Chains A and B, each alone.
Chain A
Amino acid sequence: MFDYQFFIEVLIGGLLSGVMYSLVAIGFVLIYKASGVLNFAQGAMLLFAALTFVSLVERGASLPAALVATLATMIVLGLAIERTVLRPLVNQPPITLFMATLGLSYVIEGAAQLLWGTQVHGLDIGISDTFEVAGVLISRFDLFAAAVAGSLVAVFALFFRYTRTGLSFRAVADDQFAALAVGLRLPRVWAAVWTVAGIVALVGGLLWGARLGVQFSLSLVVLKALPVLVLGGFDSILGAIVGGLVVGAIEKLAEVYVGPSFGGGIETWVAYVAALALLLIRPSGLFGKKLVERV
């Protein structure tokens, strides 16, 4: 007999895992929307943020002080990347910019190990319990992560709707040349976006760090974000959230119900299968902007 309770448990677990993927994907979307760059260094930034935070705490900094110092570090890092890597490459083909971020990810990973060493660290944010609702296991940590992701999206929505920088960002995202024509300063908008991406990396780094431990492989979580972006669209924050939920649910349900027929271990590639299938039907993703070009 089909075990509905177990099915719901797997589904909820998958949806909540998906929110964690969305947290990484949002960082990608912000940069992509503003500058058309797929920032492959987002995972390395996430690692750098988490490693900086725990290393400061282990060296005696209080939690708020470490948080503020890491935030400041990430803002400086974001600004430095924009200034030294992206700005000189402006107007270069997208593949050049992508390769630049790929190289950047290695530099950041190396710098993180150079600065803070190669040791692994634990990160306890004090939420690890689970509880049951009608026999279905639910993780408090995952719920907390979902709440953080939701808050992040709400803050971004307000920021982009009601602040001058946010409105500039939307204008740039909509049409860079038109934005330039009306006098918006692109470098300033890009700097703001890289700063925000740094903050997102910090939030994602702390939550993923609490989940995995703070270690080098944190940078690999970008691989979880890629199918989310394909599904949700590279330029939609809402798409990143919905894409994450869909990918999380597909992964977990497929692993449990289809995996045994394939010998298990299918959840990583099954997400890409789903993403590729959608790509064939809807190339810009579920929420991505359809590209219309005059040729």
Chain B
Amino acid sequence: MSKLRRFKLIMGAVLAAGLASTPAAHADEQFFPLQSYRVGPYAAGGTGFFGGFIDYLNLINIRDGGVNGVKLTWDEGETQYEVERGIEVYERLKNRPGIAAWNPLSVGIAYAMIDRITKDRVPLITINHGRTDSTDGRVFPYVFPLLLNPYSETSGIINYIASREGGPDKLNGKKIVVLYHGSPYGKETIPIYKLLADKYGFGLEQIEVPHPGNEQQSQWLSIRREKPDYVVLRGWGVMNPVALKTAQKVGFPADHIIGNVWSNSEEDVIPAGDAAKGYIAITTQASGAEYPVLQEVIKTVYGANKGNLDDKKRIGSVYHNLGIVNGILNVEAVRIAQAKFGKRTLTGDEVRWGFEHLQLDPARVEALGAKGLFHSINVTWNNHEGDGRVTFQQWDGSKWKVVSDWIAPDWAFLRPIIEKSSTAYAKEHGIKIRTSGDDPVSQW
């Protein structure tokens, strides 16, 4: 992005009207409205994720001429990660023709959009985040927390710790501290950690860090006194590097701190400097640019000077690769839906059908040039997460290195808990629960 464009974006944000422009969607176009955040406190993550997403859409347009001839288009509206701005962008762009799906990458904006997108019958993608119970497609037909919901993340982390200790039975008697961000996001996994502690018999302490998390002295002194075997870091933004620095200060080893999916990026470790060396974090997509799809993006998109990242060194970073994977999942959902409904601009409801049949096995992932980048996904009408696998990577001071196999969360254990929550939600909102994929979806 040129300095001029960044200037435009910043000025746009200041005037509360940040908007980059591309032509409106025509009959043979599929449109992606992007509620991006390129300025403000979370701009580092936003530029990486939306940069990766746009890079992949560009790759499909330049290399393949779109999806079966249907060109992919997009428009950005600056949100600065603020809910009201996100909704403002939604209202501004929702009437554009051919909307495929919304991808806000923001828990707050996503929550505020659920009623709206359900009424408007367009999918809402919350890759790696969002409401855990929106995994239940019987109740949330248009919401897709693809690859990983917060409960699966929790289970994946505990499974990884178990594998390090030599098996789930070895967790008995261990002590784990969860250091969580003082927000609804941070608190969402409190009950599931308790259930897993009861199941495996490990000691558990959950400690809150008040937002924004730039002061953690007392929390880490308490941790020092507790002497846990592991600390799980469920952080966000500045809380992550401060946690790593303060851990170093109190002498807690970085390789016994396991970060969650929003504590796993370069932006979380670089500010911590040496204190982050050895730190381990969960991810659904490996970092690095060695994967064929990334090489194609470099050659085709950046080679044509259409790359979205200012700094090419960020290609293959955690957020950029998350954007690439998000691009793959969106594009493949459109492709799958086209196979049923025709090679044309699809409606949001048709794309929803595509997402509900988004099944990419490892062979298909390899064919897409993403072997090793992510494992697989198997979305169905009632499982909107799609059983994503997780892996763990360790920061060596300059880059992330994968240190585990692909690990499966304990979905069978989690599903009844998720259904209990989603059923209660359906009752509260008067939603008719779907009993098969062919059921018409209810509208609120």
Contact = CB atoms under 8 A, between A and B. Distances in A.
B251 A263 contact: no
7 contacts: A114-B3, A128-B274, A137-B221, A212-B242, A215-B41, A263-B208, A264-B207
B373 interface: no
A211 interface: yes
A151 interface: no
A10 B40 CA distance: 34
B210 A217 contact: no
Nearest to B314: A119
Contact of A214 (B7, B10, B271, B275): B271
Contacts of B173: none
B237 interface: yes
B215 A267 contact: yes
Interface centre among B219, B221, B271, B274 (most CB of A within 10 A): B271
Contacts of B43: 113, 118, 216
Given A124-B274, A215-B271, A217-B212, A110 B13 contact: yes
Interface in A96-153: 106-107, 110, 113-114, 117-124, 128, 130, 137, 139, 141
B241 A213 contact: yes
B68 interface: no
Given A110-B39, A216-B41, 15 more contacts: A13-B218, A110-B13, A110-B14, A118-B44, A120-B271, A122-B271, A139-B249, A212-B242, A213-B241, A214-B271, A252-B218, A256-B222, A263-B208, A267-B218, A269-B210
B215 A17 contact: yes
A14 B219 CA distance: 12
A114 B210 contact: no
Contact of A264 (B208, B211, B273): B208
Interface in A1-44: 3, 6, 9-10, 13-14, 17
Interface centre among B272, B273, B311 (most CB of A within 10 A): B273
Nearest to A262: B208
Nearest to A6: B225
**Shortest 5 CB-CB contacts between residues of A and residues of B:** A213-B271, A265-B208, A118-B43, A264-B208, A217-B238
Contacts of A212: 214, 238, 241-242, 245, 271
A251 interface: yes
Given A110-B39, A124-B274, A251 B44 contact: no
B217 A13 contact: yes
Contacts, number: 136
A114 B242 contact: no
Contact of A121 (B10, B207, B245, B271): B271
Given A119-B311, A137-B250, A267-B210, A211 B44 contact: no
Given A110-B39, A120-B44, A256 B218 contact: yes
Interface in B221-258: 221-222, 224-225, 237-238, 241-242, 245, 248-251
Interface of B: 3, 6-7, 10, 13-14, 38-44, 46-47, 182, 206-212, 214-215, 217-219, 221-222, 224-225, 237-238, 241-242, 245, 248-251, 267, 270-275, 310-311, 314
Nearest to B270: A122
A119 B238 contact: no
Given A212-B214, A267-B210, A118 B38 contact: yes
Given A6-B221, A114-B7, A211-B242, A221 B214 contact: yes
Interface of A: 3, 6, 9-10, 13-14, 17, 106-107, 110, 113-114, 117-124, 128, 130, 137, 139, 141, 211-217, 220-221, 224, 251-252, 255-256, 259, 263-269
B215 A10 contact: no
A221 B242 CA distance: 13
Given A110-B10, A217-B238, A265 B209 contact: yes
A175 B302 CA distance: 62
Contacts of A106: 14
Contacts of B40: 216
Given A110-B13, A211-B242, A217 B237 contact: yes
A128 B251 CA distance: 11
B249 A130 contact: yes
Contacts of B42: 216
A114 B209 CA distance: 31
A9 to B, nearest CB: 6
Contacts of A17: 215, 217
A259 B206 CA distance: 12
Contacts of B238: 212-213, 215, 217, 220
Contacts of A128: 245, 248-249, 273-275
B270 A251 contact: no
Contacts of B14: 106-107, 110
Contact of B182 (A130, A137, A214, A265): A265
A130 B251 contact: yes
B34 to A, nearest CB: 16
Contact of B267 (A3, A120, A139, A141): A120
A208 to B, nearest CB: 8
Contacts of B274: 124, 128
B398 to A, nearest CB: 11
A64 B178 CA distance: 41
Contact of B221 (A9, A107, A113, A124): A9
Contacts of B182: 265
Contacts of B44: 118-120, 215-216
A215 B214 CA distance: 11
A249 to B, nearest CB: 11
B215 A251 contact: yes
A10 B270 contact: no
A215 to B, nearest CB: 6
Given A128-B275, A130-B250, A211-B242, A252 B217 contact: yes
Contacts of A263: 208
Contact of A114 (B6, B46, B251, B310): B6
Most chain B CB within 10 A, of A107, A110, A266, is at A110
Contact of A213 (B210, B218, B248, B272): B272
Nearest to A21: B215
B271 A220 contact: no
A6 B242 CA distance: 21
B212 A122 contact: no
Given A211-B242, A256-B222, A113 B251 contact: no
B221 A268 contact: no
Contacts of B39: 110, 113, 118
Contacts of A121: 270-271
